[in-house]
Chain A
Amino acid sequence: MFGFFKKKETDKAEAQPEQEVKQGLWEKLKGGLSKSTTQLSDGITGIFTKKKLDDETLDALEELLIKADMGVATAQKLTAQLRKTRFGKDITDHEIREALADEITAVLNPVASVLDFESAKPFVLLMVGVNGVGKTTTMGKMAKQLTQANKKVLMVAADTFRAAAVSQLEVWAERANCELLTGAENADPASLAYKALEQAKANGTDVVMIDTAGRLQNKAGLMAELQKIIRVMQKMDESAPHATLLVLDATTGQNAHAQVDVFKSLTAVSGLVLTKLDGSARGGVLVALADVFKLPVVAIGIGEGIDDLRPFAADAFAKALCGVE
């Protein structure tokens, strides 16, 4: 239930001291999210001391959304809707927050999703994204949830470029208690991925997780390298990768649009992960991205620890963003 992926009913029963874990995890999520959203909700509280929804209030509201990285266009769109339905009406602080949260939920609901790792065996997962967003960490967190659900997981250290990227993943493989395939420094990541699929097929691996080097979306050569990884894997398994996750950092501003746009068109991204929501950035850009690209959001990162990964819940995210209890 608290995992980011679909589990069978039976898996749930075996999950560990659930009561206790769940409590701790949710507290952390709430702690993280409310820290990151107090500014937005405080702002709204400040504005709505008076009761009528007027131009000034709407402008201030638009600014608050902009400060959450929603972007000018999306912020205007959201406030325009409030204007249409509530302008001039008396409205309480709580009501305006709820109305806003409802609107955001309506945008996010269609993209809230989970991964179905049962849909293929081996299920091949490819992690992509710009530098430093949290690809490796997210993969480590996911691997742990999978091995705990008794999946046989193989991690692939296909970031053969960055210094100590392999050692970093070695630590995560140990933490998550799964296998790891590594290649030589500066080895061709595509042939490593191919080898991983070969190995996974031979030994009954359930999930193959491929970590890739961070790359900026405007670097054609590096993007082509990513396409090659996919192409080469498809020689072994036509349906691979079964999921390509683009990891986005909540601290990122409007460039997230370009990241999604380019990665999506060049690598057929199938889902998004938003990391670092435990920081002060509010990740509002996700609302704009959902509106424009409609890509599923499969998980959020709320810390550096192995348990700091959550499924993405639209209403909870929207409510937390708007400070609705």
Chain B
Amino acid sequence: MFESLGNKLTGIFDRLRGRGALTESDVDAACREIRIALLEADVALAVAKDFIAKVRERAVGQEVIASVTPGQQVVKIVHDVLVETLGASATPLSLAHNPPVPVLMVGLQGSGKTTSSGKLAKRLKEVERKKVMLASLDTRRPAAQEQLAILAKLADVGSLPIIAGEAPTAIAQRAIEVAAREGYDVIILDTAGRTAIDEELMAEVKAVREIAKPAETLLVVDAMTGQDALNVAEKFHAAVSITGIIMTRLDGDARGGAALSMRAVTGQPIKFFGSGEKLDAFEVYHPDRIAGRILDMGDVVSLVEKAAAEIDMASAEKMAAKMQKGQFDFDDLADQLRQIRKMGGFSGIMGMMPGVSKIKNAMNEAKIDERVIKRQEAIIGSMTKEERQNPDLLNASRKRRIAKGSGTDVAMINQLVKQYLQMRDMMKQMKRMGNKNFMRSMNAGGLENLLGKR
């Protein structure tokens, strides 16, 4: 139905093929198309504007990778900004709370709160092995409490007995008491739908929140929501401080720009997708599912990624050889850190080795903290050439000097050295065991250490 933005942009830039860097006027032409595409996808206007400003800033003056066209390069930038804004990885529910952990579901009428409550309960029960109770605070919509009770039965989880005429705040109170008494791990509170400007009902949900003190307050939003998404997210966030978003009806053909709007305006992560009416149609957030839907960029993104990967291939292969020989110094580590930062994940050298894609994913998921990496780069930058090539030289006084030079402290340097030594050992081990056995001996926790994640 729609021409993909990927095709449109590559079309605009066709005439530019072969030029070096992207100029301002090239980028302007692209930005007009991006704006229309975002608005057609129901991204709120203010959010679309910020988004375009970011793309422009990143695109102007950027060198075009040999073997791709400027249009393709811009598509890649758009995709990257989109994924960054939406969130590059899933944020798990924070259930670290004394049981029963209260989870509050809020949103507009008909957005899918009740169904999502049932789906979440089923998921927590089956995947996380939690004992879950559902309680409906919806005393307004006819048969809403009965609807949730039926879903509880289908999901095979507990359900708070309905007392006719009880007010939402009283139900919340009772739900928590009963759940505590009966040893539930999680209590999910489904609420009535309300418009964002209904002050009376917003006050009611605030009161519920104060009683329940939820560990998670999830805003449930329909993927077909239009420009109002901005307003809804703002108002609900202001009233009840949401901690995450569930987007429903991803099984439809709406482009789902509301996800970008809501994420941008609240800063809260999208945690789950609803992808059907049945209780198992519930998925953990994944950026690609939503990014490609908001802006259909076709195959262009993977094409540019491949081209970029080819460029890195030469240097990566060289390093892979070095690593496998067990020669690995701080210069190499610095190279690695640069690559990790550039690519927003550990997709460099590791990806070049056979069978390492699992590790690679684990590393991507380990959410590398860019500040930590920058600090580590600064430390390596303050070493002398000899120190970088022969890390064994690093004694206490040298470390103090480096700490001063890099604006860090000795503890940080020790941590980096430890990380380096672990990595070097890992390389040696890899050489000894061969890739296959090595993979088996690894686990994600170890990787997080290596990457300095905190």
Interface residues of A (CB under 8 A from B): 35-36, 39, 63, 66-69, 71-72, 130-134, 161-165, 167-168, 170-172, 216-219, 249, 251-256, 258, 276, 278-282, 285, 304
Contact = CB atoms under 8 A, between A and B. Distances in A.
A283 to B, nearest CB: 9
Interface in B228-271: 228, 231-232, 235, 249, 251-255, 257-258
B42 A255 contact: yes
B147 A253 contact: no
12 contacts: A67-B44, A132-B109, A164-B143, A164-B146, A170-B143, A218-B251, A218-B252, A251-B232, A252-B226, A253-B227, A253-B258, A255-B255
Interface residues of B, number: 45
Contact of A69 (B109, B144, B196, B226): B226
A69 B110 contact: no
B143 A72 contact: no
B89 interface: no
Contacts of B141: 168, 304
A132 B222 contact: yes
Nearest to B223: A255
A237 B87 CA distance: 54
Given A131-B277, A279-B195, A280-B232, A253 B224 contact: yes
A53 to B, nearest CB: 21
A252 B235 CA distance: 18
B73 interface: no
A67 B112 CA distance: 24
B284 interface: no
Contacts of A131: 110, 112, 249, 277
Contacts of B151: 163
Contacts of B224: 130, 249, 251-253, 255-256
B211 interface: no
Contact of A251 (B1, B112, B225): B225
Contact of B110 (A171, A216, A249): A249
Interface of B: 1, 36, 39-42, 44-45, 108-112, 140-144, 146-147, 150-151, 154, 195-198, 222, 224-228, 231-232, 235, 249, 251-255, 257-258, 277
Please classify the interface of chain B as helix (H, G, I), strand (E, B), loop, or mixed, using the class held by over half of its residues. loop
A273 B147 CA distance: 25
A276 B36 contact: no
A281 B225 CA distance: 9
A72 B39 contact: yes
B40 A255 contact: no
A108 B36 CA distance: 25
Contacts of B198: 278-279
Contacts of B222: 132, 249, 251-252
Contact of B252 (A36, A68, A71, A216): A216
A253 to B, nearest CB: 2
Contacts of B225: 251-253
Contact of A279 (B44, B108, B142, B249): B108
B143 A69 contact: no
Contacts of B228: 69, 251, 279-282
Contacts of A162: 147, 277
Contacts of B254: 253-255, 258
B37 to A, nearest CB: 10
Contacts of A63: 45
Contact of B143 (A39, A167, A278): A167
Query: Lowest 6 CB-CB distances: which A-B pairs, in order?
Result: A253-B226, A132-B110, A171-B142, A279-B195, A253-B42, A164-B147
A216 B251 contact: yes
Contacts of A69: 42, 226-228
B72 to A, nearest CB: 25
Contacts of B142: 167-168, 170-172
A71 B257 CA distance: 13
A167 B144 CA distance: 9
Contacts of A165: 143
A31 to B, nearest CB: 11
A164 B195 contact: no
- Of A72, A163, A254, A280, most buried by chain B (CB within 10 Å of CB) is A163
Nearest to A166: B143
Given A69-B226, A163-B147, A279-B108, A35 B197 contact: yes
Contacts of A251: 108, 222, 224-226, 228, 232
Contacts of A285: 226
B233 to A, nearest CB: 11
B253 A258 contact: yes
Contact of A276 (B109, B253, B255, B277): B109
A279 B108 CA distance: 9
A112 to B, nearest CB: 22
Contacts of B253: 216-218, 255, 258
Given A132-B111, A253-B224, A254-B255, 8 more contacts: A131-B277, A163-B151, A168-B147, A172-B142, A216-B253, A218-B253, A258-B253, A279-B197
**Which among A164, A217, A218, A276 has the greatest number of chain B C-beta atoms within 10 A?**
A164
A36 B225 CA distance: 16
Contacts of A276: 108-110, 195
Contacts of B154: 163
A163 B112 contact: no
Given A69-B226, A132-B222, A278-B195, A254 B109 contact: no
A165 to B, nearest CB: 8
